[in-house]
Amino acid sequence: MPKINKYVDIDTVEREAKKDLIDRHSPFIHCAATAKQGEPFEVTVKMGNEYTHPDDFDHYI
């Protein structure tokens, strides 16, 4: 059975190395606080907020 990881609030993590790992592998979704029904709105999804995820040939998302 595959392991299912659960979300961890990064603010509660004390070790910087673990914060780095969690941040790099968590999606951060940015959009306006409000939107009008029926109208498109901009949404940006980024992997990592403070730390960007590496995009190498052997380690990528």
Q: For 21, phi and psi rounded to 5 degrees?
A: -60, -45
Confidence (pTM) = 0.56
pLDDT score for 10? 66
Q: Is the pLDDT of residue 61 over 80?
A: no
d(CA 11, CA 58): 29
Provide CB contacts within 8 A for 53, sequence distance 6+.
24, 25, 47, 61
| pLDDT tens by residue, 6-59 | 766 767 767 766 777 778 888 889 999 999 999 999 999 988 888 777 788 887
The better pLDDT of the pair 2, 35 is held by 35
pLDDT score for 23? 80
Domain limits of the chain?
Answer: 1-55
Neighbour-count burial of 24, counting CB atoms closer than 10 A to its CB (0-12 exposed, 13-18 middle, 19+ buried)? middle
